[in-house]
Amino acid sequence: MLQAIELDTPADGVAVLRLNRPDRLNAINQVMRDELLSTLGALATDRSVRAVVLTGAGRGFCSGIDVRDFGADMLDAADPAIDRMRFQEAMAALPQAVRAVPQPVITAVNGPCVGAGLALCLAADIRICSAAATFGNAAILLGLSGAEMGMSYHLPRIVGTSVAADWMLTGRTVAAEEADRRGLVSQIVEPEHLLPRAVELAGHVAGLAPLGVELTKRALQVNTDAACLDAALELENRNQVLSHATDDAAARRQKWTAK
């Protein structure tokens, strides 16, 4: 029985994973961290799920790490650096798990998306938000590094280095309009329409050829860091040949040309 997250399937092929600690603005504690890792791992091998929506319960997406009530793994200020490294690695496993899911992951950001919540959001493939959403990482305001949990990797690739530096070095809060203008999200919708829109989008993706979708996701991930155009084309060419050879693709081509 899940305690800190909810999982449901509102449409064929679509799983909605909801952070469910609304009284704490869905701050991540040890239970939520561990449940997210295990659930994402299970979804990755569930072939009936072809798209995943990640959102938050209540009025927030995720307010970061719950430093007041995290659990037994939370460190004291006097703990040695090696223990802090292990804690950081355990938290960094969350965006790694989101990125590793072979199905596309869509984040529906319904409110504050801060710190570790922002890291989860950035690791997704598609990000949409409500007009009430805000984004930020205030770690630098606490004397810590603003680069954690993959943010210094993902954010510059999404919004560009200069914008990422602005956000990460100031720790300021970014409103939905700026997030949309800078390309962090692909669309803004009214709060009451956010989850239906995310499920609709996920349902569209889930209705496409699974191998073609997965190969597209992987090519986007790999070719963002491709050494050159030739390397990117090599991967694209191979993936196109592989996806073309499936019975699913053949049936879809026949249906499309018959229109």
> Beta strands 112-114 and 105-109: pairing type?
unpaired
Q: How confident is the model at residue 249 (pLDDT cuts 50, 70, 90)?
A: confident
CA gap 188, 130 in Å, rounded: 5
CA gap 212, 126 in Å, rounded: 17
Q: What is the pLDDT of residue 129?
A: 98
Q: Locate 145 and state its tokens.
A: 């590094």
- pLDDT more than 90, % of the chain: 86
CA gap 182, 160 in Å, rounded: 9
Q: How confident is the model at residue 11 (pLDDT cuts 50, 70, 90)?
A: very high
Spatial contact of 61 and 19, defined as CB atoms under 8 Å apart: yes
Furthest C-alpha separation in the chain: 69
Q: pLDDT for 58-88, tens place per residue?
A: 999 999 999 899 998 888 888 899 999 999 9
Q: Where are the alpha helices (DSSP H) in the chain?
A: 30-44, 81-100, 116-123, 151-159, 161-170, 176-181, 194-206, 210-223, 229-244, 247-257
For the segment 151-164, the average pLDDT, to the nearest whole number, is 97
Sign of torsion over alpha carbons 151, 191, 196, 63: positive
Burial 20-54 (b: 16+ CB within 10 A, else e): bbeebbbbbbbbbbbbbeebbeebeeeeebbbbbb
Query: Which of 60-74, 180-194, 225-239 reaches the highest mean pLDDT?
Result: 180-194
| pLDDT higher than threshold 90 for residue 252 | no
Q: Locate 7 and state its tokens.
A: 């999982």
C-alpha closest to that of 199 among 2, 55, 56, 48? 55
Q: Locate 234 and state its tokens.
A: 């090599």
Evaluate whether the domain defined by 5-206 bears CATH number 3.30.1370.10.
Answer: no
CA gap 127, 219 in Å, rounded: 18
| pLDDT higher than threshold 70 for residue 259 | no
Going from the C-alpha of 20 to that of each of 35, 77, 81, 177, 213, the distances in angstroms are: 11, 28, 31, 26, 29
Helix (H) or strand (E) holding 105: strand 105-109
Tell the residue number behind the tokens 């961290």, with chain if given.
33
Q: pLDDT for 85-95, tens place per residue?
A: 999 999 999 99
Going from the C-alpha of 166 to that of each of 82, 157, 160, 172, 188, the distances in angstroms are: 30, 14, 10, 8, 22
